[in-house]
Chain A
Amino acid sequence: MSRDWWLKFSFLVAVCIGSALLVYPTVGKVDLEKTKLPFKQKINLGLDLQGGVYMVLGVDFNRVFRDNVDRQAAGIEQAGKDKADLGIKSVKAIREGLAADDPHLVVEFDPAQTQKISDWLKNDYSWTLRRVAESSGKIELGISSQFREKIRSDTITQSIEVVRNRIDEFGVTEPVITSQGADRLVVELPGVKDVERAKELIGRTASLEFKMLAETVMTEPQVIQMVEEVKRSQNLEFKEGDKLSAYTAKINEAVKSKIPENTEIVFGREEVMPGADPRSGRLTPYLLYRKADVTGQELQDASVGFNPDDNRPEVDFTLNPRGAVLFEKMSGENIGKSMAIVLDNIVHSVPRFQTKIPNGRVRITLGGNRSYDQVQKEANDLAIVLRAGALPAQLDFLEQRVIGPSLGADSIKKGAMASMIGTLLVFLFVLFYYRLSGAIAVVSLILNVLFVLALLVSLEATLTLPGIAGIALTVGIAVDSNVVIYERIREELRAGKRPGGAVEAGFQKAFRTILDANITNAAASIVLMVYGTGPIKGFAVTLLIGIVTTLFTAVFVCRLMFDAYLKRLEARNAATLSI
C-alpha cells in the first residue's frame, strides 16, 4: 500500500480511537469521578429522555417601561426642584390613551425658559427620551427607541440571572435557561417533578415594597366601604382563577376619582383555615401611597428565623446601609402609623411603627393557620426568592411541559432498540445486495454512527427522542450515498472498465450527486434548527451532524477501504470486484 494510504489510514484510526474514548463514558458504566479516561462527559440527554420540566416564559415589558418612565419623571422633578432657573412647574407620567408599551411623561414649564429646557433635556436625556409633542410651556416625552432596546435586552439578561439564581437554590442539576426571540425565556429543569413549586419559585416577581398606609386620607373601614360600593355598582366581584393584578387594576380604575392621585388600592389576603387553599382567603383592600420608600433593591439578606414568641418560622430581612437609613427615616417620620409590606403587589402584613427602627432589620411573620411544615416551606421559598433578587419584569407562563421520568426511560429503551433494529435491517440488505462491497459499506456505517455519537458528546449537543430517530434516519440516508457510488461503479464495470478504473470513476462521478443531496438535506435541517425548540431542535442538530459524518465516511473512509481491497485483488491477480 502506498504511503499516502498509510497516512490516511493512521488518520482514520486516530479519529476512531478519539471517538471511542468520547463515547465510552456514555455507553460503558463509568463512574465519572474516579475514571482515568481523558474525556469525562456523558452525552447530554434531552428533557424528553431524562424527564423534567420545560417552560417557556413571556416577559411583560409594559410594566418595565411604565416603571422606567415613572423613575425618569421623578428624576426630572427632582432636577426641577434643584435647578429653579429651569422653571419647571410640574412633571407627570401619563398612560391614558397610549399604547400599553409606550407611556409618556409631560413636563410643564415657564414658556420663557423653553430654550433652556430644550438644551438641558438634550444634554441629560437625549439618549433615553424622545420628543413626542411640544406646545408653549409643555413638552411631552416618550422613551427613545434605542433606550427601549436597551431596556428590553437588559430586562431579559437580568431575568435570566434572577431565574438562574433561584433555580440554583432549588438544587437542580444542569438547568438550562436561555432567551428565545426578543421576549421569551426558555427554562429546562431536568429531573424536577414538583412543577407547581418550580413555577412558584420562578414566576414570582418578588417585588418587595414598603409603602405607608394613607390613613389620613381615609380610615380602613372607609376604604373597605368604598371598595364594596364600587364592587356592587360596577359588578366587580373577584372570581376564582382571575389574575389578581388585573383585578386590582380594574378596581383602581373604578375608584380613580375618589382617591388622591398619589395613592392606590392594594389588596391583602385574609388568613384561611388550616388545610384550605390560601388563595381562597377574602381580599381586604388597603389604601396605600404609591411611593415605595424602601424596596427590595435595598435588601441585603433574607433568612428564615423563628419567632421567639410562638416558635413559628418567619422571614428576617436585613437591609443594606442605604436601606437602613431610608427605613430609619421612614419609621421615624411615621411613628404611630401603619406600614404595608407589599410582596408581589399583595399586602402581606401591616405592622405599626411603635418606634424608630435604626438597624434596618425587619421581620415578616407568616400566616398562622397552616401546618408547621407548610409555613416552613413558604418561609424557605420566600427567603430564596428575596435573596435571589426581584425579577425586573413579570413573567407569563406560555408553555409548560412536564415529562415523567419513566416515560423518558421508556423512550430511550424503545428508541434505541428500534434504531438498532433499523440499522441491522439496512446492514443485511446492503450485504445481500452488494456482497463484499456491502461489507465495506457496513463498516463505514458503523463508523458513521460512532462519529455521530462522538460529535454529540464533544459539542455538548443534546440527544432527544427525535434525535435518536434522527440517527436511524442518518443511517438510512448514509446508505443512499453508498448506493449511488456503488451503482455508478457497477455501470462503469458494465461499460467495460477494469475494477480500479471503475472504482475511481464511480467515486468521481458520484461525488457531485452526493454533495448535492447532502446540501439540500442540510438546508432543511438548518431551517429546522433555527425554528425548532426542545426535542425538535435536538432532531435537527443530530441530522446536521449526521450529514457531516456521512460525507466523511461515504467518501473518505469507503474510498480508503476500497483502495485496500483493490490492492488485495491485484495481489491475487483477480479481476472481478465483489459488488
Chain B
Amino acid sequence: MFEIIKPGTTFDIVGKRHVFVWGSIIAIAITFALFFTKGLNYGIDFTGGAEVQVKLPASWDTGKLRAELEAGGIKHAKIQEIALGGETGAVTERQYLVKAQGDENSLKAISQGVQDIIGKTLKAGEFEMMRVDVVGPAAGADLRKRGFLSMVYALICILLYVTLRFDARYSPGAVLALFHDTALTVGFFVITQKQFDLQILAAILALIGYSNNDTIIVFDRVRETLHLHPRLSIEQAVNKAVNETLGRTMLTSLSTFLSVFALWAFGGAVIRDFAVTLMFGIAVGTYSSVFIASSLVIFLTHYMEKKKTGAPGKPKKQYQVRPEPKFQ
C-alpha cells in the first residue's frame, strides 16, 4: 500500500500548538483590522450599481475605452480588464468590466449609455455586450444583509449539530475552527481586493459546510482514542489521534483541491474567483482542523476540568469519557 504518511510517524503537533494558535489569532486580528479600514471590494450585488461586461477589439485598451466613455458623458466608471486566460496566439479581442454606481435612474441611463457610446464608434459585429447587470441600491443593501445572515445561520446550524453529536468540549472547537476559516478567507479577499459578490459568498457557504468534514474526522478519532486508551492525557490522546488521521485529512483535502484546481485553471473568467475562494478555503480548512480545532479541544478540556475540581487540573487526570454511540 502506498502511504503518504507512514503509519506510526508522530509529529508533535500538540506540543507546538501555541505557535499555531497564536499565529492564527494574529492573522484573524489583521483580517479584522483590514476589514474595517480597507474594506472588501464589494461587487454590485452588495452595493448596488451597474456592471457591463463588454467584448471589444484588441485595439481598444483601457485608456481608449475610458476616453470614449468620458466623452460620452460617463465619467466616474471603474474599468477593469478581465484576464481571459487560456488564450493562445495573438490577442484579437479584450473583455472589460465597466462598473458604475448611482441611484436607480442614473444606473439605467449609464447601462444604456455604455452600449450607445460604443455602438456609435464600432459596427455591430465588432463588439458585444456579454452581460449587463443593474442592481438598485436598495436591493444591493438587502442582498448584503441576507448574505451575512445566511453565513450566521449556517454557522449556528453546524454548532447545533456538532453539539448533538459530540459533547461540549468539541462543539466550540468546531465552530471556532469554522469561524477561523471564514474569517481568513474573507481576509484573503480584503488583502487581494478581488471582487466580493454573491458567487463568492456562495463559495464561502459551501466551505462552511465542507471544512467541517476534516474537523469531524479528527474529533471522531480523538474520542475513539480516549475511549480505547483512557489512561492517556488529553494532550497525548489528541496528538495520537491527529497523527493517525493526518494521512486521511491530507488525502481528502488533496482530492477536493484537485477538482477545484481544474475549475480555476480551465473554467474561464466567470468561475475563476469562485474557484480561488474554494481552493484557499480548503487549504485553510485543513490547517485549522489539524492544528486549531485540536488545540481548542485540549484547551476546553483543561478549562472544564478546572471548573469541575476548582483547582488547576493536572494533565494526567482520569477523564470520564462519553461512550461512542452505537450505530447498528
Binding site for B on A (CB under 8 A): 48, 56, 58, 195-196, 241-243, 396-404, 406-407, 410-411, 414-415, 417-419, 421-426, 429-430, 432-433, 465-466, 469-470, 472-473, 475-477, 479-480, 483-484, 487, 490-491, 494, 508, 511-513, 516-517, 519-525, 527-528, 530-532, 535-536, 539-540, 543, 579
Contact = CB atoms under 8 A, between A and B. Distances in A.
Contacts of A243: 105
B36 interface: no
Interface in B108-128: 108-109, 112, 128
Contacts of A465: 270-271
B255 A523 contact: no
B135 A524 contact: no
Interface majority SS on A: helix, strand, loop or mixed? helix
A422 B263 contact: yes
Given A399-B135, A524-B154, A539-B206, A423 B106 contact: no
Given A398-B138, A521-B213, A404 B129 contact: yes
B256 A480 contact: yes
Nearest to A420: B262
A241 B109 contact: yes
Contact of B209 (A56, A490, A508, A525): A525
A242 B105 contact: yes
Interface string B162-192: 1001000000000000000000000000000
B209 A399 contact: no
B202 A528 contact: yes
A402 B53 CA distance: 10
Contact of B262 (A421, A477, A525, A540): A421
A484 B252 contact: yes
Given A399-B136, A473-B206, A520-B216, 10 more contacts: A399-B135, A414-B266, A414-B268, A414-B271, A429-B254, A477-B256, A487-B247, A519-B161, A520-B162, A536-B202
Contacts of B105: 241-243
B216 A517 contact: yes
16 contacts: A241-B105, A397-B134, A398-B135, A402-B133, A404-B129, A407-B130, A407-B131, A410-B268, A421-B266, A422-B260, A472-B259, A476-B260, A480-B256, A483-B255, A516-B220, A524-B154
Nearest to B199: A466
Q: Which 8 A-B pairs have the closest CB atoms?
A: A524-B209, A422-B262, A414-B268, A476-B256, A422-B259, A418-B267, A476-B259, A418-B266
A404 B206 contact: no
Contact of B256 (A398, A404, A473, A519): A473
Given A425-B261, A466-B274, A579-B1, A517 B212 contact: yes
B146 interface: yes
A483 to B, nearest CB: 5
Contacts of A517: 212-213, 216-217
Contacts of A402: 129, 131-133
